[in-house]
Amino acid sequence: MDESYLPRWIGYGFGSLLILNHFVGSTATPAQLGAIPMDQTSIPQGCEQIFVISQNVSDTQEEDLAWAMYILLRNTNTTAVYETYVHVPDSGLWEMLPQGTCSLLVQPILQVQHSSDDEIQKVKGFVLLTSSMGYACSDKDRAWIGALTNKIRGKR
């Protein structure tokens, strides 16, 4: 056997093993597929999805807020996202939540004020996320939502 054919025969051997592996181990687990099955429901029965942004924001801010809310609705288990810069009384908060809300995440929008020596953080508003699932947001989701809220804060 000529040594020049050695790489070809090695390639044939490993290629055959690769094809054999494909047919023998063709069932992938959910972890291998990157999907973890969970009880994901979209909008609770009898509710509709509403998307409202304040008229007091510029066109650029409106576009940024729209994309942020869209991303939160698509990439987390939330069914509603509210951004508010006014004080909502407790009774008003519960009235504006969709029926079937099982979990609520309140993420403050902080305004940083610099004084002579200290940095003071003041609550400027809130981003409220609701879901029809109990424990809808993982730690990773909460960190990601916090980063997105910080980006919203920077746009104001």
User: How many C-beta neighbours within 10 Å does residue 140 have?
Assistant: 9
- The tokens for 72 are 């939160």
Three-state SS at 129: strand
User: How many C-beta neighbours within 10 Å does residue 46 have?
Assistant: 8
Contact 113, 63 (CB under 8 A): no
Distance CA(133)–CA(39), nearest Å, equals: 8
pTM reported for the whole predicted model = 0.57
**Greater model confidence, 146 or 36:** 146
Instruction: Say yes or no to pLDDT of 119 above 80.
Output: no
Q: Kindly report the average pLDDT of the chain as a whole number.
A: 75
Per-residue model confidence (pLDDT) at position 39: 52
Distance CA(121)–CA(112), nearest Å, equals: 5
Per-residue model confidence (pLDDT) at position 15: 92
CB under 8 Å to 39, separation ≥6 — which residues? 133
Segments in the chain forming alpha helices (H)? 6-24, 30-33, 59-75, 90-96, 139-155
Across the range 33-48, mean pLDDT stands at: 58
DSSP string, 3-14: GGGHHHHHHHHH
6-26 pLDDT per residue, tens: 889 999 999 999 888 888 876
Per-residue model confidence (pLDDT) at position 28: 66
